[in-house]
Amino acid sequence: MDLIDWAYAAEGALGVCPLSVTVKLCQHIYKAYQLADNCIAAWSSGDYVLVKGANLGEGSFGQVAVCKHRRTEEECTVKMVHKERRSTLVEIDMLKRTDNANIVKLRGIYQQGTLMYIVMEKHVTDLDNAIQDPDGKPMNVAHIARQIVASVHYLHHKKLMHRDVKCDNFLMDRSDLLDKQCKVVLADFGTACEAEPTDRFTEQVGTKTYWSPQVYDANYGTAADIFALGVVMFTLLKGRYPFNTENKTRVMKVFIPKVHGAACVDFTHKLLQKIEEDRVTAAEAMAHEYIA
């Protein structure tokens, strides 16, 4: 399959217009496909070995487990996925193109049979598992907010869009999210894509709980990542999602107790604006007094 075939095949699946945008994206994915097809290194003869009994999860995408470097004994996370899945190729491409303190670090890529082994730095847990019930108490999570916004700001600056920003995809190096030293990174780039500020997308990917009204409309841009950050932020503060239906996402106003502070309330509201033009950009969010 050549590049043009890839582009036309992907145009409908990616929901990107015009075709020139799809071709640009496919140039990177096609390189990843060739890389996988030619094989970087066999897993069996690579630098890592699986840790027995350390399976972290399993789903339609494949399996996630713990592996250990043969020489340094550093423990990492390895995602084992089918090499011809589009999401696999996209994730490999995106991870190879990113280098930021708040983006998960790629350690290596290996192949064995039809599987690709994507080795990444290991983390203790994710935001979804670490969220606490605030029980009406103030939650000082500015140090977390700063990092999750920084990850999306970095992607948007590089003209990339994540499209599945959610609590589960923010990994932590410790279990206590209130620890001011807690480091957070964004992971899982299987639905990510290139995105200019003016690009519009129609493919409804990601997790509905985090969708903006525009994703429901199948006509969205990079601001959808910002709305998803707002959902993450609200969940951190309240211990629950702000919306659970499409109608509520479109019309319901969110209430954030003043106990969290005026700056925090304003910051979260600006992320969750229903209309894209009213929503802050990643750069504007980074400059907000709550996290600046």
- As given in the structure block, the two tokens for residue 287 are 């400059």
Lowest-confidence region among 84-88, 195-199, 273-277, 279-283? 84-88
Task: Say which residue, 179 or 24, is predicted with more confidence.
Answer: 179
Q: What pLDDT is attached to residue 94?
A: 93
Residues above pLDDT 90, as percent of the chain: 72
Question: Chain-wide mean pLDDT for the chain?
Answer: 87
Q: What's the start-to-end Cα distance of the chain, in Å?
A: 48
For residue 244, what is the enclosing H or E element? Answer: none
How far apart (Å, rounded) are the C-alpha atoms in residues 287 and 12? 37
Q: What is the pLDDT of residues 218-269, one digit of tens each?
A: 999 999 999 999 999 999 999 999 999 999 999 999 999 999 999 999 999 9
**Residue 141: helix, strand or coil by DSSP?**
coil
pLDDT at 15 over 60: no
Lowest-confidence region among 5-9, 213-217, 275-279? 5-9
Domains along the sequence of the chain with CATH = 3-121 (3.30.200.20), 125-286 (1.10.510.10)
Q: What pLDDT is attached to residue 22?
A: 52
Are the C-beta atoms of residues 192 and 90 closer than 8 Å to each other?
yes
pLDDT-based confidence at residue 14 (cuts at 50, 70, 90): very low
- As given in the structure block, the two tokens for residue 175 are 């279990």
Task: Name 66's Cβ contacts closer than 8 Å, sequence gap at least 6.
Answer: 50, 51, 54, 56, 75, 76, 77, 78, 122
pLDDT at 278 over 80: yes
**Residue 267: helix, strand or coil by DSSP?**
helix
Q: What pLDDT is attached to residue 84?
A: 78
- As given in the structure block, the two tokens for residue 233 are 């932020």
The average pLDDT across 168-177 equals 94
Angle between helices 223-238 and 262-271 (to 10 degrees): 140
Task: Say which residue, 133 or 25, is predicted with more confidence.
Answer: 133
Q: What pLDDT is attached to residue 275?
A: 98
Q: Which residue is associated with the tokens 């601001």?
A: 223
Task: Say which residue, 222 or 15, is predicted with more confidence.
Answer: 222
Q: What pLDDT is attached to residue 28?
A: 56
The amino acid at 14: L
